[in-house]
Amino acid sequence: MVHKVLLLNGDGIGPEIVGAAEEVLLALRDRFGLALELEHALLGGCAVDAAGDPLPEATLALARASDAILLGAVGGPKWDKIERDKRPERGLLRIRSGLDLYCNLRPALLYPALAEASTLKPEVVSGLDLMIVRELTGDIYFGKPRGIEIGTNGERVGHNTMVYSESEIRRIAHSAFGIARLRNKKLCSIDKANVLETTELWREVVTTVGREYVDVELSHMYVDNAAMQLVRTPKQFDVMVTSNMFGDILSDLASMLTGSIGMLPSASLNAENKGMFEPIHGSAPDIAGRNVANPLATILSVAMMLRYSLREEAQASRVEAAVSKVLDAGYRTADIQQPGMKLVGTREMGREVVAHLA
């Protein structure tokens, strides 16, 4: 079967990092027999410029017709002032919701070669391997009503709605327990049940689902404490499951444990494991077009795509092994540069990964 993969460069550094990842995919096709068909489409600010819509109908149609999607990143100052519905980020949220990609996996894995690159002490982070399971299509990101309106006293009032139904919580809980079962059978659910009813329900439903996974040890933690524990003793966690907004924040935090946000891939999956794969970092307009961005998070997203959507485990491991070898060989982009290491650009880093595929 030929895998149909859609590439969405997006904005800022997007074309550079996806370009590097595309070379890896092409090498897997040409040298290692991966049956692959690639397509490109527009998402984000570039789509606003070209088609007046951050998620053009044509892109959504191609996305629906493909087996997996690789996305760079969207957004930039150029589009920050336009009306809210036309902003690049809205395009991203609409494609996540349009394809029902509710299960977002954000692994934070510290490569041994990068133990010194983290701002935390090596003994705190070395050996770190945790998985954040973030709910991706609900919560305050999508809740209605929302908006900025004139209140009764004439001043403007902004409001959003944090909302979760039982079924939304149940399905992400099942995903998280399933993943915990394949790892170390430890799941920590993150909420703010001491204050917010929505997450009181979250805790109750996760606990109920947990009765079907008696082999997995379930714990609960408030999100403020979780943020603190993540920098204090991150290795106490194995799998964490949380809501859309808490997951957004905690995954940025967790990325810093691994040295750089430029290292973290993600998978966003629907119930059939069809998915979109993207680095968790943004479009970094400040360094766009300068060949300095780290493409490894995007290349590692390709590995996640091969594993979770295309079911090509051997190819996924091949990519991950190549990334490890490149880091062991001392190649570094600027964000992870350390004294004595070989500083390379985006393109060169991508080519080193290609050269180390075995």
Cβ closest to ligand IPM, residue 54 vs residue 345: 54
Alpha-carbon span 110 to 263, nearest angstrom: 9
249 forms part of the interface with ligand IPM (CB under 6 A): no
Provide the terminal-to-terminal Cα distance of the chain, rounded to the nearest Å.
Answer: 23
312 forms part of the interface with Mg ion (CB under 5 A): no
67 forms part of the interface with Mg ion (CB under 5 A): no
Cα 302 from chain centre = 12
Q: Is 235 part of the annotated catalytic residue set?
A: no
Q: Is the peptide bond before 88 cis (omega within 30 degrees of 0)?
A: no
248 forms part of the interface with Mg ion (CB under 5 A): yes
Q: For residues 184-203, which are near ligand IPM according to CB under 6 A? A: none
Residue 153, both tokens: 């006293």
Q: Is 342 part of the annotated catalytic residue set?
A: no
Alpha-carbon span 101 to 325, nearest angstrom: 32
Alpha-carbon span 281 to 278, nearest angstrom: 8
Alpha-carbon span 326 to 157, nearest angstrom: 51
Q: Is 328 part of the annotated catalytic residue set?
A: no
Q: Is 67 part of the annotated catalytic residue set?
A: no
Question: Measuring CA to CA, which residue among 309, 341, 310 is closest to residue 327?
Answer: 341
352 forms part of the interface with Mg ion (CB under 5 A): no
Cβ closest to Mg ion, residue 168 vs residue 248: 248
284 forms part of the interface with ligand IPM (CB under 6 A): no
Least Å from the CB of residue 188 to Mg ion: 20
Q: Is 308 part of the annotated catalytic residue set?
A: no
Q: Name which position in 39, 89, 100, 217 contacts ligand IPM (CB under 6 A).
A: 89
Least Å from the CB of residue 64 to Mg ion: 25
Question: Measuring CA to CA, which residue among 347, 261, 291, 308 is closest to residue 67?
Answer: 308
The amino acid present at 328, given as its one-letter code, is D
17 forms part of the interface with ligand IPM (CB under 6 A): no
Contact residues: ligand IPM, CB under 6 A: 75, 89, 92, 248, 280
Q: In the complex, which residues of this chain contact Mg ion (CB under 5 A)?
A: 248
